[in-house]
Structure 1
């Protein structure tokens, strides 16, 4: 071998070793990125789940031709790798951690809150569906639902997400406005006795009122919501383990109504997905991550997607859903709804799907 050939071989060998070191370094950095936390959560398309197998209404019937589906968003803490991915992909979004988990809360608090609002959404969906089917539904105000506790304030030490405040100094607090009224005449340093229930057990605690952040009033530091007891004439079982949040309310109401109405098939044979919170009057409300839900529904083969028409302009959930549908090129029909009745009217106007 000539000197030039030997030199060329050594040069290629050094270049090969250099490339191997660079490749090893890249692999190491990529691997390390999965262990470097960020101050963000990442959201991306979840799944579309048929509600028929999940919901059972006593004496009801289930369709075999079509299906109602709830849609989900996949969410998790973003490490550096997910942070980079979310900045490159149109199908992933970053959310500041403080918008997901309040200061002082942990993931357990987040899960408890999401499960609590899912439970409430289920009960409201049942009430709406039974009323639409012509049944009498009784609603009793149960108390003030603790949906969060503020870091550094008195409630943080004694109350948990999901607790229900039923009285202040022995005076019943049937809803959130009653709690505010009970504390309105108090001042910082005053002590009040809070009666609450946790997992069905009543308890009492005494807390000292403090000034609330960014407010002239005093309080205990909770994020309140209204909790009501709903009585329906038939048993409804909903197996939603692992699914949290309020956004399945619309679709659960439609599935329950479909099972109650044994005379017709509300689905008309279509695969129908959608999303939206629900109120006792049937109003459908705005949700987050609707772009991810449209993608999940499309992947599951849905033909119709109900989206909340929460505002009359381009910022509505409906317009967001339309934009995503156009971007991914789906043939799925995006339908705006302001009330459960809108969804029912749309389906009543459809011809049954031909087999």
Structure 2
């Protein structure tokens, strides 16, 4: 079926699961990243609606390293990344966001906590095909993640993994909490990671997501700013593409389009 549709593609196992990482280990890391990003998204949505939220973490622990990746030989399992080019990393999703807009060949300076010592490691990023963007080639998890929400928020994970639903989860929580109905009865779709400060980060597979949204009846698609061109190409003029850089951008865009 994938060879016959414009929005699917066939990938080998090696293109999906990093070499040297067991499939179950990879899938659990993706599920954990979704759970964590969902908690962060709920916090962002509630904060945008004026609610008080407490969030803390102690860095991004390296859980697995892909064979032959930029991180191989540079990072070790158990290393805790606490900053990227001086930008603090409290959560695993902070690391994903910090690297999302970087280019292949670009060097990043990682501040690590290793064996109770602080170290700095410079790594040149390379494109990871299964992500569609440059990356380190590691699976990470937040150290001591703690999020205290003023109201309970439950997200049905289903078969979803990874952090790319963060923006839409945050908007959904905001829409359910704030008295203003930003959805306005419309079918709105979108993609993008979300950081604690509300920054929207790049994701993979934007074209396929746009096509799926278009075929599902969506009229508007929110996308990270640096992936708007890919989204517009996939939309073919049949779906309004709205690039956003923050949760506030997304809320304002929806209010203006209502």
| CA contact 1:272–1:304 (8 Å) conserved in 2 | yes
Q: CA deviation at 1:150?
A: 4.9
Aligned to 2:153: 236
Question: Which of the two has greater strand per residue?
Answer: 1
| CA contact 1:141–1:229 (8 Å) conserved in 2 | yes
Aligned to 1:124: 40
Distance 1:151 1:255 in 2: 38
Q: Which runs of 5+ in 1 are unaligned?
A: 1-80, 166-173, 186-212, 215-220, 311-316
Q: CA deviation at 1:135?
A: 1.6
Residue 146 of structure 1: SS of its match in structure 2? strand
1:216-250 deviations in whole A, cap 9, x for unaligned?
Answer: xxxxx975454431111111111112111110000
Distance 2:138 2:249 in 1: 35
Answering whether residue 56 of structure 2 is matched by residue 140 of structure 1, we say yes
Distance 1:252 1:164 in 2: 30
Distance 1:236 1:92 in 2: 32
Structure of higher CA gyration radius: 1
Distance 1:177 1:226 in 2: 15
1:123-156 deviations in whole A, cap 9, x for unaligned?
Answer: 11011111111122112224543342455999xx
The alignment covers a number of residue pairs equal to 213
**TM-score (structure 1 length as normaliser):** 0.52
Of 322, 329, 352, 2:232 maps to 322
1:102-141 deviations in whole A, cap 9, x for unaligned?
Answer: 2122321221121011011101101111111112211222
Residue 134 of structure 1: SS of its match in structure 2? coil
| CA contact 2:201–2:224 (8 Å) conserved in 1 | yes
Of 202, 205, 220, 1:289 maps to 205
Of 149, 170, 182, 2:117 maps to 182
Aligned to 1:340: 247
Residue 117 of structure 2: SS of its match in structure 1? helix
1:141-290 superposed matches below 5 A? 141-150=57-66, 177-180=111-114, 182=117, 184=119, 223-224=139-140, 226-227=142-143, 228-261=145-178, 263-290=179-206
Distance 1:222 1:110 in 2: 10
Aligned to 1:30: none
Q: 1:97 to 1:347 in 2, by over 3 A?
A: same
Q: Superposition RMSD on alpha carbons, in Å?
A: 3.5
**TM-score (structure 2 length as normaliser):** 0.70
Answering whether residue 5 of structure 2 is matched by residue 115 of structure 1, we say no
Q: 1:222 to 1:269 in 2, by over 3 A?
A: closer
| CA contact 1:137–1:230 (8 Å) conserved in 2 | yes
Distance 1:182 1:292 in 2: 43
